[in-house]
Structure 1
């Protein structure tokens, strides 16, 4: 009898569990009692707040531990959740949150940063992923064709969103669109719904406390049964960070199959921590109380010590800098971050100043701080305006310029810190391990992608003007990031760029730049061609021969091509671990970009198409590419003109990195 009762109890328990999976209904008003499968940096705080990520370059996942039974054809479902994104900075974040439905909870192969903890380089876009996600993205990633750095996207097996929209909502009364800033530290609510009859996905967003807007932010006609092919799928959240400390929180969550998701009780949700930036007055204000003589003396001493400390960290501020406020760091924070700019924190001396490693005291973000001298007030104002403009650029293959500070005659620039140093150290130093072909090819593609972004995809055209191996820095995963915008100039799309004088580095300067003095995107293309040959061959564009003569790398590569020995010019340390056709294609692309006639050079968009295999490299004959660079300069009478303006700029290799 006991065994029958026990068996019946087990059966009823299993039936209840199975029934719960079938109905697929739950509500979490906070996550104190929640049974979730967590991995990465995800954890539940003591107040019930689900924190997915915080530290840089991490990912976190939170899944319902049991799969939801969607049926052979995906059933209708509805889910809503409350979230908040809190960054250490007012206008920097990374990267975002995604609600997802997945056949597995094991996303260990997924990458952080722009991959959102969902995919990696190899599987992004693969139909075998069987993943549906809705991303709340705070970073613009040009390789995924993001619309901006504050958007909501519907992702089907890929981070290239099938449909996306700037974050916000449609007001029920006026019908007008109201913008929402995802990284504003404010709580927001999102709804994701699928209608299996209409085969339609709706995504809605609103500020916390507002009723769900009647008009969805996104509405996308799609049959999810073609993607979510398993009867049972896991539902949950994924999040990732880049270089900036950012906390991604989920406060509450509800879900229902074949119905409307239950309402979340906002009064029961945990509180969200906020980052508070205290204001600093320009002039210290001291109130002296009426006290005894001894108290006054003690107060005078305290005032003296306070004033001494204030002058130690005094900064130069002017009214015109108010508009750049969010990009300004305090000198005190940078002084503390670098241990007082001690020599042991010195990374190196670049062409425009000394660079120190630092750790910001509050956010613990690792940075590189560059000290530059400045004299002219007007020149400094223009330069800071350009610094702020460049600081707004967002691309995974650019070294992020975070902001600046001014003190006396010094200008301090704050960058991302790149732990693996500069690329040229890996090409020319025996102390560094040799990069394999895959790593070099990825670095070349990364720099090409960053130049495409600068030339065509940012709000303004940015010409870098100093593309070379020593200005390409390597992050923790040996991804190449283009840095040192000390020579960069911005201008509006469609305008004529004017350059007052020729700057750059010998071997990377195009004859056209020297002739006209105008830096254009094609001058970057020419330098990129020299960079390609430098990376593949591990040789500088111009070297001194044994007899004191000059060896031009472009000419040397062409000679090997004409002899049918093109792979022999490659760096011997590559060994034989490369695809000959791919290596030859890259070398020929380097020659094409290095062509001295601008009309023969490809754009960076065409370069990316060649590297991605989306377009074949033009069939160029060795006769067409046969030119002698040094001879051309001499024939044009440019050799005497070039030398006074060539700046053999000191390597920026140590500017943002260690040795």
Structure 2
């Protein structure tokens, strides 16, 4: 099956194939998945998958194995890990797959129908593993680009020229992980160029490599896409697609305040949920962003949200419920179990999402209330909870919104969803896929009542 995937994946539009096979004589069902990045060539995809196929043999005889490089991903398991409506029969590619003595041996074992023989035959090839090959990617009209496994490798001079020597006038953002510049390539394409901070730290190399590997495989309409990268000396630079509307916080309490109506805010709430559900539950590995907040949500030309800045993203093994890790995030958006105990799970993002939902509805920052009459020291989450307890949800709604433009019950429901996301116990917070169902469902929530959140002082 893995041999067939190597042959089938490069030939399928989108370079993504899911398949399964039943081992004869009532044996287990084996599920497998192959994927290459869309920017790779067909030959590059095939070479990359072949290298990962060889690497994966060290996984045998375990019932779950995976291997990935910057350009491709390959996995098998006796447990289903993808929707069944995405399955493709790849047996028709078997003739093309049997192109070597090794292929003929494996093909014969598959025909024999014995899972034990399959595992033994594959396991015997562990010592003949090959090193991953460099993948040649077509560069088209991108100047200064070179070979790289995955995203485009830009030359430093190209990015320096695009940003006018990383000038202050081209600076469009700054955060803990670096400075972002607007850049214009020689062909007129506008990009966002992030120059990572702390260039002399060894950790930057790890963060840079991790981010490049991760983001080059992530493609979703609600996630900012990584176009390429650059490494020169101590400089580590990432190149993203450019969002001219900038970040969500500008629309809520910045220079573009009052410009989002209710329909647009609802679409942003739903789009962020869609992007996080993809990262947590739909991508072939579970990804936790760790720093979801309004200035990490960019808006595209249609004001659709794009989750940005995966510099803090981490992969969580499927057999772990949480990891203890050094804190990295923004107080006010960060869940108590992560801020206090360093316990990291996807529910950390769910908590942050709940805070962002309350900000979108209220038009106020999570750690600063500016409306007259607010209780001294009261933060947005406290205010939302106190209003909810008194049945006065709608008092939280941004005064800039016309009450005629939104349904009161819908707004109440979404406020309650925000509070459900900020439950004190991570286990009681919903998954992002469940949140999407709630958002799309008509009427108020049934049999789901939030409990009082834990309020953390952020000053």
**Pairwise TM-score range, normalised by the shorter structure:** 0.5 to 0.7
The structure-2 alpha-carbon separation of the partners of 1:164 and 1:278, relative to structure 1 and needing over 3 Å to count, comes to same
What displacement does 1:475 show?
0.3
**Is 1:418 aligned with 2:283?**
no
1:461 to 270, 279, 286: 286
Q: Deviations over 1:332-385 (max 9, x none)?
A: 2212322332332221322222211112224x4321001114224465045313
The structure-2 alpha-carbon separation of the partners of 1:169 and 1:416, relative to structure 1 and needing over 3 Å to count, comes to farther
What displacement does 1:562 show?
2.9
The structure-2 alpha-carbon separation of the partners of 1:424 and 1:415, relative to structure 1 and needing over 3 Å to count, comes to same
Structure 2: distance between partners of 1:359 and 1:555 = 44
Partner of 2:103: none
Contact 2:332 2:367 in 1 (8 A): yes
The structure-2 alpha-carbon separation of the partners of 1:381 and 1:445, relative to structure 1 and needing over 3 Å to count, comes to same
Partner of 2:108: none
Partner of 1:275: 140
Partner of 2:344: 519
Partner of 2:217: 392
What displacement does 1:416 show?
1.1
1:554 to 381, 391, 395: 381
Larger Rg: 1 or 2? 1
Secondary structure in structure 2 of the residue aligned to 1:387:
helix
Partner of 1:488: 313
Secondary structure in structure 2 of the residue aligned to 1:412:
strand
Partner of 2:304: 479
Contact 2:296 2:309 in 1 (8 A): yes
Count residues in correspondence.
Answer: 343
Contact 1:388 1:403 in 2 (8 A): no
1:127-138 to structure 2, matched below 5 A, reads none
What displacement does 1:430 show?
5.2
Structure 2: distance between partners of 1:495 and 1:566 = 37
Structure 2: distance between partners of 1:386 and 1:496 = 23
1:589 to 417, 420, 425: 417
If each structure's helix is expressed as a fraction of its own residues, which one has the higher value? Answer: 2
TM-score, reference length from structure 1: 0.47
Q: Which moved more, 1:573-582 or 1:342-351?
A: 342-351
Structure 2: distance between partners of 1:165 and 1:333 = 42
Contact 1:398 1:483 in 2 (8 A): yes
Secondary structure in structure 1 of the residue aligned to 2:273:
helix
The structure-2 alpha-carbon separation of the partners of 1:515 and 1:352, relative to structure 1 and needing over 3 Å to count, comes to closer
Partner of 1:368: 192
Secondary structure in structure 2 of the residue aligned to 1:543:
coil
Secondary structure in structure 2 of the residue aligned to 1:629:
coil
**Is 1:174 aligned with 2:95?**
yes
Secondary structure in structure 2 of the residue aligned to 1:349:
strand
Note the residue ranges of structure 2 that are not aligned, 5 or more in a row. 1-36, 43-71, 74-82, 100-137
Contact 2:338 2:348 in 1 (8 A): yes
What displacement does 1:487 show?
1.8
What displacement does 1:402 show?
2.0
Structure 1: distance between partners of 2:341 and 2:367 = 22
**Is 1:342 aligned with 2:170?**
no
What displacement does 1:571 show?
0.3
What displacement does 1:474 show?
0.4
1:441 to 248, 251, 266: 266
The structure-2 alpha-carbon separation of the partners of 1:177 and 1:535, relative to structure 1 and needing over 3 Å to count, comes to farther
Structure 2: distance between partners of 1:357 and 1:351 = 18
Structure 1: distance between partners of 2:222 and 2:278 = 10
The structure-2 alpha-carbon separation of the partners of 1:170 and 1:336, relative to structure 1 and needing over 3 Å to count, comes to farther
Structure 1: distance between partners of 2:153 and 2:139 = 20
Structure 2: distance between partners of 1:447 and 1:559 = 26
1:571-582 to structure 2, matched below 5 A, reads 571-576=398-403, 577-582=405-410
Structure 2: distance between partners of 1:505 and 1:277 = 36
Q: Deviations over 1:614-651 (max 9, x none)?
A: 89734345xx53x2633xx5xxxxx6xx87xxxxxxxx
What displacement does 1:579 show?
0.8
1:493-572 to structure 2, matched below 5 A, reads 493-495=318-320, 497-543=322-368, 549-572=376-399
Secondary structure in structure 1 of the residue aligned to 2:215:
helix
What displacement does 1:582 show?
0.8
1:606 to 425, 430, 434: 434
Partner of 1:296: none
What displacement does 1:604 show?
0.9
Q: Higher relative CO (CA 8 A, sep ≥ 6), structure 1 or 2?
A: 1
Structure 1: distance between partners of 2:290 and 2:375 = 29
What displacement does 1:522 show?
0.5
Contact 2:144 2:155 in 1 (8 A): no
Contact 1:465 1:504 in 2 (8 A): yes
If each structure's strand is expressed as a fraction of its own residues, which one has the higher value? Answer: 1
Partner of 1:41: none
Contact 1:397 1:450 in 2 (8 A): yes
Task: Provide the alpha-carbon RMSD of the alignment.
Answer: 3.6
What displacement does 1:523 show?
0.8
Q: Which moved more, 1:526-535 or 1:335-344?
A: 335-344
Contact 1:405 1:411 in 2 (8 A): yes
Contact 1:465 1:488 in 2 (8 A): yes
Contact 2:195 2:237 in 1 (8 A): yes
Q: Which moved more, 1:423-432 or 1:598-607?
A: 423-432
What displacement does 1:560 show?
1.9
What displacement does 1:606 show?
0.8
Q: Deviations over 1:46-105 (max 9, x none)?
A: xxxxxxxxxxxxxxxxxxxxxxxxxxxxxxxxxxxxxxxxx995479xxxxxxxxxxxxx
The structure-2 alpha-carbon separation of the partners of 1:91 and 1:342, relative to structure 1 and needing over 3 Å to count, comes to farther
Contact 1:449 1:608 in 2 (8 A): yes
Contact 1:498 1:519 in 2 (8 A): yes
What displacement does 1:176 show?
5.5
Contact 1:398 1:482 in 2 (8 A): yes
